[in-house]
Amino acid sequence: MRQAKGAAVDVVGLTKVFGEGETRVEALRGIDMTIAPGEFVAVMGASGSGKSTLLHVIGGLEPPTDGDVRIDGRSLRELNDDELTVLRRRRIGFVFQAFNLLQVLTAAENVALPLVIDGVAESEAHARARAALDRVALADRSAHLPGELSGGEQQRVAIARAVVTNPVLLLVDEPTGNLDSRTGEKVMALLRSLADDHGQTVLMVTHDAGDAAMADRLARLRDGVVADEQSLPAGRDAHELLGEDLS
């Protein structure tokens, strides 16, 4: 079996089947994918292409039917539910489309949650949460409840929570799905800067071409297989781009 050395994520021959008999659905039909540390990978595909399932399996939320996922060298197949939970808690950060925060906790408490559950001392957890909120430029909102924040701010709090544990992998699911385009762009710029400035490995699924184009690499899923994959070269800056002659 192939194993990429030093990969953050290594997906090998991954298949996932739901249901049986007439309701049997093959959501993933053999996916191979390697993500290097610090890489920002986008997975695109129409709805039903299996992109969300892929994210769930990589995140250990669903067991694979066949094949394996290795996060930082650890095979998910070998972990039981509790070990998976701890892996998610310490090594993976999740950002979902919406309803991403616990409504009864403040921004800072939401961010500190994975640490507190992991047994980190409350004072340290909150210091780290404040630092994470600072990274997403929301330090002044730490005492607010999610209901008092705008959609974009909520998503940024969610991102702060996802990175507060310094995870190996950030899994992002349609991060701008519930946001207007301007706010969405800010969230995407934030994710981009996490990869650029902190070397954060990011795997994002989306159906938005604009979001996907932010990544370093793009995988297109069709009917449960990777139909196309491309690296996106580092670009030019705005001046160069705007001064370029198309004629």
Partner 1 sequence: MSVRQALLGLLAGGARHGYELRAAYEGRLVPQGRLNIGQVYTTLERLERDGLVQHERVVGTDGHGRDRKVYALTPEGHAELHTWLAEPSPVRLDLRNEVFLKIVLARRIEGVDARGVVDRERRAAFERLHEVTQARARAEDASLEDDLLLDLAALRLQAFLKWLDHCEEKLS
Partner 2 sequence: MTRLRYSVRELRRRPGRTALTLLGLVIGVAAFVSIGLTARTARHATHAMFETLAGHAELEIVAAGGGGFDPQRASAAIESDGVQAAVPVVVAPAALVGKNGPVSLLALGIDPAMDRAARDLRLHAGVGLEEKDGILLPAGLAASLGLTPGDSCALVTPAGLAHLEIAGILDARGAVTFNGGSIAVVQLTRAQRLFGLGDQVNAIQLVLEADADPATVADAVQRRLEPGLEVRRPAARASVARHVLKNIEQPLDALSVMSLIAGAFIILNTFLMSISERRRSLALLRALGTTRPQLSRMLLGESLLLAAVGTVLGIGLGIGAARGMLAGMGQYLGVTLPELRYDSSTLLGALALGPGLAVIATWLPARRAGRRPVLAGLFPERAFGGDHVPRWLRPVAASLVLLMTAIAGGFVAGHLTGALIAPAMAFMLVTCTLSVPLVVPSLLRALRAIARPVSSVGAGLAFRQLERYPLRTSLTSGVLALAVITGIGMGTAILGNVRDIEDWYEKTIVSDYLVRAAMPANATMTSPSMPRNLAAEFGAVHDVERVLPLRFLPIEAGGEPAVLMARGFSANRPIELDVVDGDPTELAEAVARGEAAVSSVLAHRLGLRPGDSIELATPTGPRQVKIAGLVTDYTAAGMLLYMDWTAANKLFGLRGVDVYMVDAPASAEPELRAIAARHGLMFQTNADMRAFIDELVQGTVGMFWTLLVLVLVVACLGVVNTLTMHVLEQRREIGLLRAVAMTRRQIRRMIGAQALALAAVSLLPGTIAGLALAWAMHGSTYAVTGIMLDFRLEPYLVVTVVVLTTGATWLASRLPARHAARMRIADALTYE
User: Number of helices and strands (H, E) in the chain?
Assistant: 8, 10
Q: Does 212 bind partner 1 (CB under 8 A)?
A: yes
**Neighbour count for residue 217 (Cβ, 10 Å):** 17
Residue pair 133/139 in contact (Cβ under 8 Å)? The answer is: yes
Q: Does 230 bind partner 1 (CB under 8 A)?
A: yes
The site partner of 214 among partner 1, partner 2, none (C-beta below 5 to 8 Å per kind) is partner 1
Q: Could you give the string, one character per residue 77-116, with x where binding to partner 2 holds by CB under 8 A and - elsewhere?
A: ----xx--xx-xx----x-x-xxx-xxxx-------xx-x
Q: Which of 159, 218, 219, 221 binds partner 1 (CB under 8 A)?
A: 218
The site partner of 104 among partner 1, partner 2, none (C-beta below 5 to 8 Å per kind) is partner 2
Q: Which two tokens stand for residue 25?
A: 């659905």
Q: Does 15 bind partner 2 (CB under 8 A)?
A: no
Residue pair 59/9 in contact (Cβ under 8 Å)? The answer is: no
The site partner of 189 among partner 2, partner 1, none (C-beta below 5 to 8 Å per kind) is partner 1
Residue entry with tokens 């996907």: 212
- Give the binding range for partner 1 (CB under 8 A) out of 77-85, 124-132, 155-163, 239-247: 239-247
Q: Does 156 bind partner 2 (CB under 8 A)?
A: no
Cα 64 to Cα 124: distance, rounded to the nearest angstrom = 36
Residues 6+ positions from 237 with CB-CB distance below 8 Å:
none
The closest alpha carbon to 94, from 108, 119, 74, 113, belongs to: 113
Cα 76 to Cα 165: distance, rounded to the nearest angstrom = 19
Q: Could you give the string, one character per residue 162-201, with x where binding to partner 1 holds by CB under 8 A and - elsewhere?
A: -----------------------x--xx--xx--------
Interacting residue ranges for partner 2, rule: CB under 8 A: 52-53, 56, 59, 61-62, 81-82, 85-86, 88-89, 94, 96, 98-100, 102-105, 113-114, 116-118, 147, 161
